[in-house]
Structure 1
Amino acid sequence: MAIEIITKDDLEAFRKTLLNDIQALLINNRPETKEWLRCADVRKLLKVSTATVQNLRMTGKLKSHKVGGIHFYRLADVESMISGKTL
């Protein structure tokens, strides 16, 4: 049985390789962002109730587009509302 000695340089090279592999996995598994969101998606982003999303829509603070009875919200509009910019 042969004995192999692992040096700090070997461990550092392994760490770098491992980090690069993990980064590649994370980049490839990133979920696609949607341009249009449903009410449930908006609720999750804003951490509010359905009624709050409805109130934001009815007061004009959050624009929606109704398609077949379902309200869709533009992601850019929701993000600008989060950052405090006016729509």
Structure 2
Amino acid sequence: MPAIELISKDDLEQFKNELFAELRRMGIRSQGPAIQNKEWIKSYEVRKLLNISPGTLQNLRINGTLHYTKIGGILYYKTEDINKLLENNLR
């Protein structure tokens, strides 16, 4: 019968640090900064960034809150406009 091994908080912390170090070494980063460096982003990226549904994004387009460009059936949004939207809605 195998022995039971307990994992401490220190073990988990060490694992986390090693995992993040490996991901950085491989060049994998979070989505946020990668999106912020783009001038134009697609609908799914906007929804992910703002944590909103497709319907909410559609409402933002319809009422003119968020401008977009449509090319070949794909909607693109300027990150500058998204940042302005966020800044204007600070509370």
Normalised by the length of structure 1, the TM-score is 0.60
Please give the per-residue CA displacement for 1:3-39, whole angstroms capped at 9, x wherever unaligned: xxxxxxxxxxxxxxxxxxx9xx79x877652110111
1:53 is aligned with what amino acid?
L
Match of 1:6 in 2: none
Match of 1:39 in 2: 43
Q: Can you give the 5+ residue segments of structure 1 that lack an aligned partner in the other structure? A: 1-21
> Equivalent pairs: percent with the same residue?
39
Tell me if 1:62 matches 2:63. no
Equivalent position SS for 1:62: coil
Count of residue pairs brought into register by the alignment? 61
Find the aligned partners of 1:83 and 1:35 in 2 and give their Cα distance: 17
Tell me if 1:79 matches 2:78. no
Normalised by the length of structure 2, the TM-score is 0.57
Q: Which runs of 4+ in 1 moved over 2 A?
A: 28-32
When the two chains are superposed, the root-mean-square deviation of aligned CA atoms in Å is 2.2
